[in-house]
Amino acid sequence: MSVLRSGRVRKATELHVTGLRVKSTTLNVMGMALTAVSAGMVIGGFVELGSTNRDTSALFWSALVTFVAGITLFGSTQPGEVRPRDVFASVGWTWVIVTGFGALPYVLGGTFDVSGIDTSGQIVNAIFESASGFSATGSTALTDFSIPGRGMLMYRQITQWYGGMGIVVLAVAVLPFLGVGGLDLLTAEAPGPGSDRLTPRVSQTAKGLWSTYVLFTVAVATALIIIPGPSVYDAIAHGFSTVSTGGFSPHASSIGHFDSVAVEIAIIAGMLVSGINFNLHLLARSGTRNAYWANSEFRAYIAMLVGCALLIIGILWLDGGFAVGESIRVGIFNVVALATSTGYGNATNPGGAGDFALWMPAAQMILLFLFVVGASTSSTSGGIKVMRLQVLLAHSIRSIRRSQHPRAVIAVKHGAVAVREDVISRMAGFFVVYAIFVLSGIILLTAVGGGPLESISAIISALSNQGPALGEAGPTGNFTEAFTEPGRLVLSAYMLIGRLEFFPILLMFAAPIRAMRERIL
**Which residues of the shown chain bind another protein in the complex (CB under 8 A)?**
4-7, 84-85, 88, 315, 360-362, 364-366, 368-369, 392-393, 395-400, 402-406, 421, 424-426, 428-433, 435-436, 439, 442-443, 446-453, 455-456, 470, 502-503, 506-507, 510
Residue with smaller CB distance to another protein, 351 or 452 = 452
Cα–chain center distance at 401: 36
CB of 8 to another protein, least distance (A): 9
In whole angstroms, what is the distance from residue 104 CA to residue 459 CA?
25
CB of 84 to another protein, least distance (A): 5
CB of 254 to another protein, least distance (A): 22
Question: Contact 516/399 with Cβ under 8 angstroms?
Answer: no
CB of 457 to another protein, least distance (A): 8
In whole angstroms, what is the distance from residue 392 CA to residue 415 CA?
13
CB of 398 to another protein, least distance (A): 6
CB of 435 to another protein, least distance (A): 7
CB of 257 to another protein, least distance (A): 27
CB of 306 to another protein, least distance (A): 18
Residue with smaller CB distance to another protein, 306 or 435 = 435
The H-assigned helical ranges of 385-451 are 386-404, 421-447
CB of 413 to another protein, least distance (A): 15
CB of 252 to another protein, least distance (A): 25
Residue with smaller CB distance to another protein, 190 or 291 = 190
Q: Which residues contact 326 (CB under 8 A, 6 or more apart)?
A: 316, 353
Residue with smaller CB distance to another protein, 400 or 521 = 400
Residue with smaller CB distance to another protein, 238 or 488 = 488
Residue with smaller CB distance to another protein, 332 or 368 = 368
Residue with smaller CB distance to another protein, 285 or 402 = 402
CB of 431 to another protein, least distance (A): 7
Question: How far lies 502's CA from each of 287, 323, 432, 463, in Å?
Answer: 35, 42, 11, 9
Question: How far lies 427's CA from each of 13, 110, 191, 252, 432, in Å?
Answer: 32, 43, 13, 38, 9
Question: How far lies 346's CA from each of 137, 139, 332, 340, in Å?
Answer: 17, 15, 11, 15
Question: How far lies 339's CA from each of 306, 309, 356, 381, 468, in Å?
Answer: 11, 10, 14, 8, 12
Residue with smaller CB distance to another protein, 283 or 313 = 313
CB of 461 to another protein, least distance (A): 14
Residue with smaller CB distance to another protein, 126 or 505 = 505
Residue with smaller CB distance to another protein, 88 or 333 = 88
Residue with smaller CB distance to another protein, 6 or 115 = 6
For 186-201, give the secondary structure using H, E and C: HHHHCCCCCCCCCCCC
Q: Which residues contact 24 (CB under 8 A, 6 or more apart)?
A: 77, 78, 79, 80
Question: Contact 154/251 with Cβ under 8 angstroms?
Answer: no
Residue with smaller CB distance to another protein, 107 or 366 = 366
Tell me the three state secondary structure of residue 286: coil
Q: DSSP letters along 132-177, please?
A: HHHTT------S-TTSS-HHHHHHHHHHHHHHHH-HHHHHHHH-GG
Residue with smaller CB distance to another protein, 306 or 432 = 432
In whole angstroms, what is the distance from residue 351 CA to residue 426 CA?
42
In whole angstroms, what is the distance from residue 298 CA to residue 483 CA?
36
CB of 462 to another protein, least distance (A): 16
Q: Which residues contact 274 (CB under 8 A, 6 or more apart)?
A: 164, 216, 242, 243, 244, 245, 340, 342, 379, 380, 381
The upper half-sphere exposure of residue 419, i.e. CA atoms within 13 Å in the direction of its Cβ, equals 23
Measured from the Cβ of residue 375, the count of other Cβ atoms closer than 10 Å reads: 31
Among 477, 503, 491, which residue's Cα sits nearest to residue 442?
491
